Structure 1
Amino acid sequence: MTSPGIWLGDVARALAALGDHDPETLRAVSELLGVTKNTSGTGDEIRPSEAPDAGRRPQPPAPARPDIGQTAPVPAFHAPATTAGGQDAAGTGPRLLVPVVRASRPPVRWTVPALRAASRSGPPPLRQPLLAPRSAPAIVQAAVSRWEPDGDVDIPRAVDRLAKGLPLNTLPRRPAPTLRFGVQVLVDRGLGMQPFHRDQDDLVARIRGTVGQDTTEVLYFEDSLVGGAGPADHGAWQPYVPPVPGTRVLLLTDLGLGGPAHSWQGGRAEWERLFERLTRARCAPVVFLPYPRHRWPSWATDRVRMVPWDRRTTVGWVRMHNG
């Protein structure tokens, strides 16, 4: 009679592990697992196909319920004496199983070749700037330039003035973008901009190459211009003074969005006072912000022109929003 936790599937798995399917092995495995009785050659064994209720797994008998107030007796366990071959001294008990030695599995042959191992001694990957290299010069030019009547002669306006009998003291010209007013670059070296220091240096070099070395002024500050600004990262900075009227002012800052909070971090009131001061000095400010547009503060978008410092920024977008 089979044990409650052993069934015919266990016999099949044991035979598959042994790799031997002769009748003697089947009989021995069945006896060890308790599927058939150890008849000791009496011919009274029960085959798996003849076992009662072969189609379902037998259930263990329900234990007898002791009477109320009495304690159920606990059967004593006596380990049978075994011989050297693993069988008990009486010759009727189960034999001990011999561990099966499993050989190592053959290596798997993959149909797709494996990736090449990365070399740790090679050079690090190239750093990608925030602005696309191909469109960066055009983006800088669109952000810095101002529209002034420096283009071709406006023939319709000149003819209309002459038709009215008015003198032409100066030739009317069409508006065109120009860089002749120069640019002042304010570079924020605060805690929030530490991950973008190399991008700031690249953009400053790009501005100097586009506008010109002589017409580009670069000043550095930390978090807020209240603490002053200067031409170097460190040193004695002076109180900030706006440039001459007409100069475009570019701010490479995060407006306090990044980095840990600290006491000297610039707030909304300080930035709004700076924007108002630059507007009164006729120096239109433009902010390059290294954060997506959905994180821009609404109070800043209403007061100053802003450019998304991102590889997806296009020249058309800058010209449309910084005209």
Structure 2
Amino acid sequence: MSRVRPQIWIGDAVRALETAQTEEEQVQVLRVLGFTTTAVTPLDDEPLPAPPLQPAHPSDDHNERAPRHREDEPAEPDTVEEPEPSRALAELPLLQPRRIETTSPAPDPVERLALPTTERTVRPHIPLLVPRWTSSLIRAALAQQVDDGPIDIDALIETLARCRPVVQLPRRQVRTLRYGVQVLVDRGSTMQPFRRDQDHLVRQIRSVVGRELVDVGYFSDAPQRGTGSGARWTRTDYTPPTGGQRILLLSDLGLGAQPYAHGRSTPEEWQEFIALVTRAGCQPVALVPYPPARWPAWMNALLPLVSWDRTTTTGQISARMP
């Protein structure tokens, strides 16, 4: 059994060195405390006297404290033999497997989601109207009927048969876009989800009708509150166009606002607007991004309404035009 070294600290050695009188005693103190086994060179680099030689044989006191072995007792072996395993464990029978199942292959690792970034990804725009029908729908909603077609032979024969004078040759009615169109875009809060559709449709109208024949004005909630082609602070009082143009409203006429919401347009404001443009000889039509089931009665009676949706067809628009 090995002896445990007592806990001796450097502070103990310092206190012991203070009691030593000579350098030889200091060396002996350090050796006793176990800090060195050889001679220590003092700070002034003077050689210390050689330590006294220890006898070849241990002292009698040491021999008395050391345990003695009898001659008849066998010496303990240097190595410790490991105990043999238990016979009971060695005699246990080994279990035989009943069946062996094959393991399924590991599933494919799941691909990690991309880390969020500050980059803004613009999704592709899907317009409300069917792209291949847009040109036909625009012509059906904006064209005006005029008596400027070929001569109406049937009407001319009937006039002559009744012996009436032919003052003017009757002509067939045709639809035309030559008078141009005024597009009023509602930039109110209720139309904010449809701003990309509004800009896309304005570009389509200019390509079909002609850029020089399209006048675009922007307003919020109601045209009488200020209309202009630029920012809100540049808008002025609305003035209807001259020459009997078609007026297209890209607005919900306040249908998407909450009841009693601040700034919501009222039916009275729209009645006043329709009366103003009608006196100027213009024909208004509204493109509303809501189905007909949500249109109130006063909107249907006020002006022609067209549903701004994928289900809209030219037949539906022609049926609603006067």
Shared fold by TM > 0.5? yes
TM-score of the superposition, structure 2-length normalised? 0.61
- Is 1:248 the equivalent of 2:243? no
Once the two structures are superposed, residues 256-285 of structure 1 have per-residue CA deviations (whole angstroms, 9 ceiling, x without a partner) of 122456432211111111112222222111
Q: Counterpart of 2:304?
A: 305
- Is 1:213 the equivalent of 2:211? yes
Task: State whether residues 219 and 231 of structure 1, in contact with CA within 8 Å, keep that contact through their aligned partners in structure 2.
Answer: yes
- Residue 115 and residue 132 in structure 1: after superposition, are their counterparts in 2 closer, same or farther (change >3 A)? farther
Q: Counterpart of 2:192?
A: 194
Once the two structures are superposed, residues 135-178 of structure 1 have per-residue CA deviations (whole angstroms, 9 ceiling, x without a partner) of 11111111111111122210011122233444433221111111
Report the Cα distance in structure 2 between the residues aligned to 1:276 and 1:122, rounded to whole angstroms: 45
Report the Cα distance in structure 2 between the residues aligned to 1:118 and 1:311, rounded to whole angstroms: 34
Q: Counterpart of 1:289?
A: 288
One-letter amino acid of the structure 1 residue matched with residue 315 of structure 2:
G
Once the two structures are superposed, residues 103-154 of structure 1 have per-residue CA deviations (whole angstroms, 9 ceiling, x without a partner) of 99745889xxx99999899976522101111111111111111111122210
Q: Aligned to 2:232, what secondary structure does the other structure show?
A: coil
CA offset at residue 223 of structure 1? Answer: 0.8
Task: State whether residues 185 and 217 of structure 1, in contact with CA within 8 Å, keep that contact through their aligned partners in structure 2.
Answer: yes
Report the Cα distance in structure 2 between the residues aligned to 1:116 and 1:312, rounded to whole angstroms: 39
Query: Which is helix-richer, 1 or 2?
Result: 2
Q: Counterpart of 1:29?
A: none
Task: State whether residues 153 and 172 of structure 1, in contact with CA within 8 Å, keep that contact through their aligned partners in structure 2.
Answer: yes
CA root-mean-square deviation: 3.0
Report the Cα distance in structure 2 between the residues aligned to 1:192 and 1:183, rounded to whole angstroms: 24
- Residue 107 and residue 235 in structure 1: after superposition, are their counterparts in 2 closer, same or farther (change >3 A)? same
Q: Counterpart of 2:270?
A: 271
Task: State whether residues 139 and 314 of structure 1, in contact with CA within 8 Å, keep that contact through their aligned partners in structure 2.
Answer: yes
How many residue pairs get aligned? The number is 218
Report the Cα distance in structure 2 between the residues aligned to 1:104 and 1:273, rounded to whole angstroms: 82
One-letter amino acid of the structure 2 residue matched with residue 321 of structure 1:
R
Task: State whether residues 224 and 264 of structure 1, in contact with CA within 8 Å, keep that contact through their aligned partners in structure 2.
Answer: no
Q: Please show how residues 82-231 of structure 1 align to structure 2 within 5 Å.
A: 106-107=104-105, 125-231=123-229
Asked which structure has the greater CA Rg, the reply is: 2
Report the Cα distance in structure 2 between the residues aligned to 1:117 and 1:170, rounded to whole angstroms: 79
Q: Aligned to 2:275, what secondary structure does the other structure show?
A: helix
Report the Cα distance in structure 2 between the residues aligned to 1:104 and 1:298, rounded to whole angstroms: 73
Q: Which runs of 5+ in 2 are unaligned?
A: 1-100
Report the Cα distance in structure 2 between the residues aligned to 1:255 and 1:220, rounded to whole angstroms: 14
Q: Counterpart of 1:258?
A: 256
- Residue 167 and residue 222 in structure 1: after superposition, are their counterparts in 2 closer, same or farther (change >3 A)? same
Report the Cα distance in structure 1 between the residues aligned to 2:122 and 2:281, rounded to whole angstroms: 46
- Residue 127 and residue 227 in structure 1: after superposition, are their counterparts in 2 closer, same or farther (change >3 A)? same
Task: State whether residues 189 and 233 of structure 1, in contact with CA within 8 Å, keep that contact through their aligned partners in structure 2.
Answer: no
